[in-house]
Each structure stands twice: as structure tokens, then as C-alpha cells.
């Protein structure tokens, strides 16, 4: 059975927004890397990403407020996930346990639509 898109009038705002598709299209992720990432915990991925960033700049991230920026990074990631895994803002807001108004505020604050739509 073939999956077909629902009519445009039944699609939500974020129907075609997918971070995974975006990264694949930009050739930043492969199916093999996707499988490897799937086997690593979220905490280890964040720590690994920070370690790689620190190594890139000589081993230290002095002056970058990691602790204070964590709240921003986490909320940005959660909003991107919710939009990528649902077909409407209502579903995304329900996934996050917030109102549609709060979701829209976060989308605007973190420029998520600009990121996912490009």
C-alpha cells in the first residue's frame, strides 16, 4: 500500500518540516550515521558535541556560557523535534505540554521555521 499525502487543506503548518530530511538533504547525515546515533544516549550526544567543539578551539570553551545557554539549546531542540514529529502546531504544542500560543512564541524566538524550511 502506497503512502500518499493528505490533501493540502488537511495538512498542518509543519507537515513537511523534518529535521532529519533537512540534514539528509544537506548531506550532513547518512543512514549509517543515523543508526550509530540511535545507539547513543542523548546525554552522551550532547557531551560528545561539546567535547568536539572544545577540541576544535584548543580544548577549552572559556567565555562561552554553556550553563546559561543550556536552557536555550534544550528548548530550541525540543521545539524542532515537536515540529518535525507532528503535522500541526496544535499537535506539536500538545507533544510539548504547552499552549499553541507558547509554541508560536518559541518558534519565533528561536527562528525555528526559518531553520526547518530551508
Positive or negative: CA dihedral 58, 63, 64, 65? positive
Instruction: From residue 51, give the alpha-carbon distance in Å to each of 32, 68, 100, 103.
Output: 22, 17, 35, 31
Provide the whole-model pTM: 0.72
Residue 1 pLDDT: 46
Residue whose C-alpha cell is 500518499: 4
Here the cell at position 38 is 540511535
Question: Distance between CA atoms of 111 and 33, rounded to whole angstroms?
Answer: 26
Residue 32 pLDDT: 95
Return per-residue pLDDT of the chain as tens, 118 residues. Answer: 445 655 554 455 665 678 888 889 899 999 999 999 999 998 999 899 888 888 888 777 777 788 888 888 899 999 999 998 888 889 999 999 999 999 999 999 888 888 877 6
Going from N- to C-terminal start, the domains of the chain cover 14-117
Amino acid at each position: 500500500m502506497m503512502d500518499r499525502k493528505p490533501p493540502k487543506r488537511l495538512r498542518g503548518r509543519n507537515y513537511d518540516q523534518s529535521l532529519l530530511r533537512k540534514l539528509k538533504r544537506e548531506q550532513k547525515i547518512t543512514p549509517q550515521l543515523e543508526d550509530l546515533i540511535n545507539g547513543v544516549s542523548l546525554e552522551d550526544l550532547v557531551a560528545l558535541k561539546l567535547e568536539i567543539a572544545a577540541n576544535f578551539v584548543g580544548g577549552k570553551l572559556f567565555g562561552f556560557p554553556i550553563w546559561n545557554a543550556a536552557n536555550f539549546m534544550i528548548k530550541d531542540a525540543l521545539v524542532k523535534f515537536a515540529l518535525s514529529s507532528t503535522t500541526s502546531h496544535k499537535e506539536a504544542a500538545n507533544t510539548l505540554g504547552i499552549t499553541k500560543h507558547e509554541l508560536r512564541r518559541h518558534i519565533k524566538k528561536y527562528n525555528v521555521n526559518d531553520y526547518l524550511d530551508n
